[in-house]
Amino acid sequence: MAIGILGSALSGLAAFQRSLEVTSNNISNVNTEGYSRQRVELQTSPEQFVGHGYLGSGVNATNIKRSYDEFVNTQQRSSATAFNDVDSFYLLSTQMDNLIANESTGLSPAMKSFFNAVNDVANDPTSIPARQVMLSEGDAIARQFNTMSNRFDDLRQQVNSNLDTSVKEVNSFTKSIADLNRRIMDAVGKTSGQQLPNELMDQRDLLLSKVAEKMDISVVPQPDGSFSIFTQQGQPLVLGTNASSLSLQGAANDPSHLLVKLNGEDITGNLTGGEIYGNLRFRDEMLDSAQNQLGLLATGLAIEFNKVHQDGYDLNDNPGLKFFDLGSPTNLPVVSNVQDSNLTVTADFVAPTAAVNLGASYRVEVTGVAPNNVYTLTNLSDNSIAAGLSDAGLAAFGFNLNFSGAGSVNIGDSFKVSPFFKAAESIKINPAISTPGQIAAAGAKNQPGDNSKALELAGLESLNLMFGGKSSFTQVYGQLVSDVGSKTHNASVSRSAQKVLLDQATQAREDLVGVNLDEEAANLIKFQNSYQAAAKAVSVANALFDSLLGVIR
């Protein structure tokens, strides 16, 4: 009897000691990121038949398990992916919104000051000071275009820097996950899957959450204890102990336009969430369109102002020169969808003759190739269509196409062209206009007091010369500000909603796996009392054994 009591008590001592150790470990890791609460699983030892019944033989600590639920983890990862997508988009869009809507950095004040200066020349066409102010304000608005374009380029560089950092982090995380897979597989194999390496699995879950913050992933548990990780389109990031590698590569026609590649395959269009997608979405949906529209506004202002100015005469009775110079930007952004992969397509800027039918971007489709290429052009700003265009006909819309390489153009090929992408960056006052007297305010020679052309120039401010004759220069910029502001507001609303969902998912996971100090303190007392009781049973068994020995002696 004493031996039975002693065996049961000793098993209790061992089990409760293990429980105290695990509880102490929980308390120690209460603030450890990714740690999951652990519990000792206790099981009754096999009972023994003693003639008049079955007698228990104590307790065994069979396993140490962590609190875990794959569904809860998946919810948390999905919420993190969605939040980091809209959060990245919102933070970048806020910078753009502050830039273009701010009275100090936006174009509206500069445009108003410029046309006020033109009005002053119209009021006093012989005034040299008024003409000098007009030149200065013209230079100021050109520089404001340049500055805003440069700020857009800064945002583009920020996006590229964010992408570079995120891609490097994903590669580091996936490599670590593959290594953890190896270690977990080894540990699981040693115990035939009966005991699991809890802390290694916590580390892997934490890394999975960090990858999910960067991009949308799918996690598939494997029987050997490893996790396979795929993009949402099914491309493998981690298979067992092998990790794939993400990389960035500039587009063929625009090195600053980075593409995300997985093992050399372009997956940019397949991404659907996370920081990487949020940055790409901002670039493609907001930054590119804003830069295109800013360039369109610069082009429209320049060509319409130049058209009137060149039709007038200056104080020296010379015909007016171009007031603004747009330069000749080359290698403009072209997104090609061609059948012959050996064909390279680029575009060059050509100054159009009128702004009324121009758009920020175009889709060009090849409808004929012999004897000359024939195109159908869709203006993506208003969806108007111009069919039957030749190569020369494209120039009216601000560009020409260049084909190079060993490939050939085929019917059905299409190109998205943004001809005014660099216009805001390059616009300036015509260097040939060096004196105030060269401003062409008169409509005829030998009439220095004539202000007819100056009045026409001033009237351009309110004329609807863009978007099919529906918008003025000010309205085009106002539309840009409105579009950016609307997208930023929508991003803010989405961000707030996704933050609530993420907090809920994080709290649900924390409720399941987090360490509660009050609960652990209660467990400490419970296991301490159990340990002391088992120790008392050992003492009783020892006393009974001593009594038995005394009788024998």
Q: Which two tokens stand for residue 543?
A: 């006393």
Q: What pLDDT score does 454 carry? A: 96
Q: Position 381: which residue type?
A: S
Q: Which residue has the tokens 């998912």?
A: 505
Q: Which helix or strand (DSSP H or E) is residue 7 part of? A: helix 2-28
- What does each C-alpha distance from 238 to 68, 163, 174, 460, 513 come to in angstroms? 22, 20, 6, 60, 25
Task: Express each pLDDT in 488-510 by its tens digit.
Answer: 999 999 999 999 999 999 999 99
| Rounded distance between C-alpha atoms, residue 88 and residue 494, angstroms | 12
Return the ∠ at Cα 449 (arms to 443 and 455), rounded to 5°.
50
Q: What is the pLDDT of residues 405-425, one digit of tens each?
A: 888 999 999 999 999 999 999
Q: Report the share of the chain in percent with pLDDT over 70.
A: 99
pTM over 0.85: yes
Q: How far apart are alpha carbons 430 and 298 in whole angstroms?
A: 14
The Cα 427–Cα 297 span in angstroms is 11
Positions of the chain with pLDDT lower than 70, given as ranges? 1-3, 548, 553
pLDDT in tens, 156-178: 999 999 999 999 999 999 999 99
Report how far residue 414's alpha carbon sits from residue 191's, in angstroms, rounded to the nearest whole number: 60
Distances (CA, A) of 7 to 43, 331, 359: 15, 85, 88
CA distance 102 to 144: 13
